[in-house]
Every structure is written in structure tokens, then in C-alpha cells.
Amino acid sequence: MEDPEILQQAVDNFVKLIPLGFLVGGYGAMVGAGGGFLLVPVLLLLLPDASAVSLTSISLTVVFFAAYSGSISYARMGRIDYYNGLLLAAAGVPGIILGRMAVKLIENRTPFELGFGLILLALGLYLALRPTDDGTPKAPYEETNGQSGRHWGAIGSAYVAALSGILGIGGGFMRVLLMTKLMRMTPHTATATAVFILALLALVGNVADVVTGDFFEGINTTMFLAVGVMMGAPVGAALSQKIRGSSLIRLLALAICIVGGKLIWNAV
Amino acid sequence: MSKLLLLLACLIVPGVWGLLVSWLFMHGWPGAWGKGPAEEATGESEPVPVDPTAPPAEVMDFQI
């Protein structure tokens, strides 16, 4: 016979973590982010005794499952730009490694987090108020997405990766901004491509976690959340089809404000 | 000293690497794989091409 406490814990996890994963996966897939910025604060409340390494590993694994599930949905819709997705993912690899190395050497992160949090908050508010450049229709994708845009997009993605490594965030929303503003991609293509990039980068991080053994800490929590995000991400992808580009940018602006607010909260 | 080197690396390496990767993609990407996403569904059908030299009856048949 099963221990009633273990059974109760499993039921608790089922009731709390699967709906949480569903919401995180759905919203993340819609805005092109992994949802780690929503997940980590909630996990801190649910698992107050968990170590930072364990929380990071849970978050990274859940982000991978969300991005993997979202990528399959977006691939079926034909919305992923594989060329630019692979380009931005490849450009980000050394940045992530350098960022993770740099974070260990930064003794006082407060000014860094405060400054960047304020910038993100301002950016989020700006995007919420002006989701499109000037209201005029953009030129078609193929005409504007020239070589110069790709160069700047790749360089930007490399710096985003370094910054996200230092700040401990995924950086999906910053890549959506790069793709829409520098590479002139439509918000629908940019969010789908950002989810695809996240799936690749999170997989690299997960493999590293498996090698170091961090992956197996909190595996129970991870699996429940993974089920939730894998159900939520396709729903988010389907909903984003029905949302206008400017509304997607406003949802992204909300995510940026949340991340900015969280960084400021950490700093003060 | 190591901090300064790492800071410099964080400032320089991503930019150089990003430029290198974009150059490699532009020149080494197989043309057959294509670039850019599939056309997004707009819900509107494409206009039917019409040959201006064709007689009106044929144009009608073609459009139907």
C-alpha cells in the first residue's frame, strides 16, 4: 500500500504544478519567451527550501519542454523562420558561456540589475504604448530583411545571450524585439522563431545540466511542470494565430515589464 | 586582471562571433534549403494572373 503522504504530495503537485505549467507554457509560447521569468518567482514560493542550482535547473528544463512543444505547433503552422532562427541561435552560443563565466566574477550585481531593470521597464512601457513604429504598413518581409538586418540581428543575439547569461534570464523576448525591429520580421514570425531558438539553446543548457548532475535535482517538480507546459504551449501558439501583431507586441511588453520589475525588486 | 580580460571578452567576442556566424550563414547556407519562413496565411486568396492579350472569353473561362 502507498504511503498516504507520498500520495497526498503527488496530488498536491498535480493540482498546483500542472495548471501553473499550462499558464506559463501558453503565455510563453504566445510572446516568444520560455516563461522562466514567470516560473522562477512562483517556484521560490512553492519550494522555499530548494537551492538556487535546483531552481535554475527546473526552470531551464521546463523552458525546454515549453519551447519544444511550442516549436512543434509553430512548425505545423509554417511560422518558423529556420534560417534566421538557426543564425540567431548559433550567434548566441559563446555569449551564454561568457555570460555564465562573468556572473561568477561580478560581486555586486545590484547596480547592474537596477540599471537594466529600469531600461526594460521603460522599453516595456514604450512598446505597450506604441506597439508599431508609425502605424504605416511595413514593406514585405523579403524586401526589407536584407543582409544588413541579418548582420545586426546576429550581433545583437550574441550580446543578448551574454546579457541573459549574466542576468539569469532566457532572453527570448529580447530576440523577438531584435527580429521585429532590426530584421523587420512580423511579430507572428518573430515569436514563433524565438520559441524555436529557445528550444535549441535550452537543450544545450539541459545537456550541460545532465552532465553535471544538476538535472536530477527536483525531477518530480520538473516532470509535473513539463506536462503542464507541453499542454499549454500549443494552446498559446493557436491563440497567437488569432491575435493581431500589435496585440502580440503588447503582450510582449507586459513580459518585458515583469522582467524589468523583477530585476528592480531584486536590486532594492 | 582576469576580470578585466573577461569584461573585454564579453564586450568584443559576441560582436565578432555574431558577425562571423552571419557571414558564414550568408555564404555557406545551401540555396536549396531556402531562406525565410513559409508565407503566412492571410485568409485572402492570391489574385488570379490574367493575360491581357487573351480574348475576353478565355479570360473568363480561366478565372472561373
**What confidence tens digit (pLDDT) does each residue in B10-62 have?**
888 889 999 999 889 888 877 767 666 654 444 444 455 555 666 555 555 54
Q: How confident is the model at residue B63 (pLDDT cuts 50, 70, 90)?
A: very low
Q: What is the pTM of this model?
A: 0.78
Q: Are B18 and A156 in contact (CB under 8 A)?
A: yes
DSSP A78: T
Give average pLDDT by consecutive 10-residue segment, chain A, 268 residues.
73 86 91 82 80 78 90 92 91 83 74 84 85 52 60 89 77 86 87 91 77 72 91 92 86 87 83
* Phi and psi torsions of B52, nearest 5°: -70, -20
Which of A189, A194, A174 lies closest to A140, judged by CA? A189
Closest Cα in chain B, distance from residue A167 (Å): 13
- Which of A82, A91, A141 is facing B21, going by the closest CB pair? A91
The answer to whether the Cβ–Cβ distance between B14 and A102 falls below 8 Å is no
A108 touches B: beta carbon within 8 Å: no
- Which of A87, A90, A162 is facing B10, going by the closest CB pair? A162
A161 touches B: beta carbon within 8 Å: yes
- Which of A78, A98, A159 is facing B37, going by the closest CB pair? A78
DSSP A47: -
How many whole angstroms separate alpha carbon A100 and alpha carbon A98? 5
User: What pLDDT is attached to residue A233?
Assistant: 92
User: What pLDDT is attached to residue A135?
Assistant: 44
User: What pLDDT is attached to residue B5?
Assistant: 83
Angle, vertex CA B49, rays to CA B46 and CA B55, nearest 5 = 145
User: What pLDDT is attached to residue A4?
Assistant: 78
Q: Are A92 and A170 in contact (CB under 8 A)?
A: no
User: What pLDDT is attached to residue A68?
Assistant: 92
Which of A193, A176, A196 lies closest to A251, judged by CA? A176
Alpha-carbon Rg of chain A, whole angstroms?
Answer: 18
